[in-house]
Structure 1
Amino acid sequence: MMLLVDAGNTRVKWALVQPGAAPGQWIASGGVEHADLDQLPERWRDHAVSAVLVSNVAGAALRARLLPLLPGARTAWFAARAEMAGMRNGYRNPGQLGCDRFAAALGARTLEPGKAIIVATCGTATTIDAVSAQGDFLGGMILPGLGLMASSLARNTAQLPQVLAGGPLPSGFADNTDDAILSGILSAQAGAIERAFARHRADLCLISGGAACYIAPVLEVAHRMVDNVVLIGLQTAAASDFASDLTG
């Protein structure tokens, strides 16, 4: 059994998967905040893990905290490559591409093969990437996530409150400050996704991440919400030639 780990800037998500399982068909999965990492070994204790594949974008400090918590199995740390699982990396320096973005693109292509896709992962940051129908990762955009946008307004202005997504959006122009902030930050996120969608002439947007449930309802392009698309990409990588890093 393989353990897949997506270590993001705020949370660590994980899934346990048997070889040959369908994308997203996991025995167990979950996630914890960084402060609760010590809970992870208990979640994995009753499973015979033979290999671990980790995507970590949260830096060396989190890697050092995470490493002693992982099961005593062969561990590989995922990174972008020039090509993997039939997807070609069009980044100027392929290795510079964030491992989470590359994994998310792999996951999206696995779920929607043969389509021109926009992959939007909406967490601490929002990343918006384009994958061609032929399997070329073309690049993308990075912008502050929904929470960072709201916090920035609250922190850097004297009169504006901290607003959390979740309330109903105004049907027209907002007639109060809280709704105006919420409408503005959601429109900024959705607008960036829609602009990328139009430029790519995409067939579909796959949207994932903790803020996806707030942004997806305001999108005006064809979209599909996917839980844990990075983990699905790791599952795809583990079934490809990347598996040699775990078995070789």
Structure 2
Amino acid sequence: MNLIVDIGNTRTKYAVFDDGAWVECGLGLPEVYDLAKTYRENGKEVDLILSSTGAISAEVRERLREVSTFFCEVSSEIPLPIRLGYDTPKTLGVDRIAGCVGGAFLFPGRELLVIDSGTAITYDFVSADGEFRGGNISPGLGIRFRALNEFTASLPLVKCSMEHGYIGKNTHDAILNGVMNGILFEVRGYIDELLRNNPHAVVIITGGGSEYLKKTLKRTVCFEDKLVITGLNRILEYQKTVNYT
């Protein structure tokens, strides 16, 4: 049984895979400990992978080791099922690594553009032979709305909405349309450039902000809400192969 633990800036997510199939998911570190202990008490091996976008205390890391049969932590320095063609791999976020590994696993032998729309929007490119070629980082929805409010004297803070138009007739709508369409046009630009040079490439979009792109882009891209979790599970399987052989 594989237990995926993803500690973010505001919450901890976990997922369980058994024989490659997704079983369940949830939130919270106490729940992770209880779940792992239950599986161990029932005679199951618990192979655990830890991913974090921030610092993790030694206590948390040690407790996760204690409840697992096999333990590993994601970083750019561990063996990976893809190659990292990046000048500064130590600065590469583990979520970006996992998303690209997930994409390469789902679409082997295809050139990929992996777009993760979260707090930031990341655009990452993977070659057909499995090399992470690099990518770009752009402000996400929330950052753009807050920036217009915080760095100007009179513009209000506007919330994102599925219901937006093209030309604003008031300040609220001008901001809403500007941010929502700005992201949409940006994403389209990356997709169009990739497909212009490689019409057989695959575009995968994930992340919480991807909901705002589905209505317009769903016919030309693949939306995978479990992409990062799938990638982490693939990295865990790879680690077990490396360490057990």
TM-score band by shorter chain is: 0.7 to 0.9
Is it true that 1:200 corresponds to 2:200 in the alignment? Answer: no
User: Deviation per CA, 1:32-82, whole angstroms, max 9, x where unpaired?
Assistant: 5xxxx5554455553336221011112x2x445743663622421101259
Amino acid of the structure 1 residue aligned with 2:85: G
User: Deviation per CA, 1:78-101, whole angstroms, max 9, x where unpaired?
Assistant: 01259632x221102334322111
Compared CA separation, residues 180 and 104, structure 1 to 2 (3 A): same
Compared CA separation, residues 188 and 82, structure 1 to 2 (3 A): farther
Q: Could you tell me how far apart the structure 1 residues matched to 2:87 and 2:78 are?
A: 10
Q: Could you tell me how far apart the structure 1 residues matched to 2:32 and 2:211 are?
A: 25
**What are the residue-to-residue correspondences of 1:3-14 with 2, within 5 Å?**
3-14=3-14
Compared CA separation, residues 194 and 9, structure 1 to 2 (3 A): farther
Give the drift of 1:235.
1.0
Partner in structure 2 of residue 132 of structure 1: 127
Q: Could you tell me how far apart the structure 2 residues matched to 1:98 and 1:234 are?
A: 13
Q: Could you tell me how far apart the structure 2 residues matched to 1:108 and 1:7 are?
A: 21
Gaps in structure 1 of 5+ consecutive residues? none
Partner in structure 2 of residue 121 of structure 1: 116
Compared CA separation, residues 7 and 175, structure 1 to 2 (3 A): same
Q: Could you tell me how far apart the structure 2 residues matched to 1:43 and 1:174 are?
A: 50
Partner in structure 1 of residue 240 of structure 2: 243
The partner residue of 2:88 within 82, 87, 93 is: 93
Q: Could you tell me how far apart the structure 2 residues matched to 1:196 and 1:88 are?
A: 22
Residues 86 and 132, structure 2, Cα contact 8 Å, conserved in 1 = yes
Q: How many residues align?
A: 235
Q: Could you tell me how far apart the structure 2 residues matched to 1:11 and 1:118 are?
A: 27
Residues 103 and 112, structure 2, Cα contact 8 Å, conserved in 1 = yes
The partner residue of 2:39 within 36, 47, 68 is: 47
Partner in structure 1 of residue 22 of structure 2: 26
Gaps in structure 2 of 5+ consecutive residues? none
Q: Could you tell me how far apart the structure 1 residues matched to 2:159 and 2:63 are?
A: 33
Q: Which moved more, 1:2-11 or 1:38-47?
A: 38-47
Q: Could you tell me how far apart the structure 1 residues matched to 2:34 and 2:194 are?
A: 44
Residues 36 and 46, structure 2, Cα contact 8 Å, conserved in 1 = no
Q: Could you tell me how far apart the structure 2 residues matched to 1:163 and 1:51 are?
A: 44
Q: Could you tell me how far apart the structure 2 residues matched to 1:163 and 1:45 are?
A: 45
Give the drift of 1:121.
1.0
Residues 98 and 228, structure 2, Cα contact 8 Å, conserved in 1 = yes
Compared CA separation, residues 218 and 55, structure 1 to 2 (3 A): same
- The 4+ residue runs of structure 1 with deviation greater than 6 A are none
Indicate the percent of aligned positions where both proteins have the same amino acid: 30
TM-score by length of 2: 0.82
Partner in structure 1 of residue 174 of structure 2: 180
Partner in structure 2 of residue 15 of structure 1: 15
Residues 78 and 99, structure 1, Cα contact 8 Å, conserved in 2 = yes
Q: What secondary structure, in the 3-state scheme, does the structure 2 residue paired with 1:236 have?
A: helix
RMSD: 2.7
Give the drift of 1:2.
1.8
Partner in structure 1 of residue 2 of structure 2: 2
Q: Could you tell me how far apart the structure 1 residues matched to 2:59 and 2:177 are?
A: 38
TM-score by length of 1: 0.81
Amino acid of the structure 1 residue aligned with 2:13: K
Q: What secondary structure, in the 3-state scheme, does the structure 1 residue paired with 2:109 have?
A: coil
Q: What secondary structure, in the 3-state scheme, does the structure 2 residue paired with 1:79 have?
A: coil
Give the drift of 1:13.
2.1
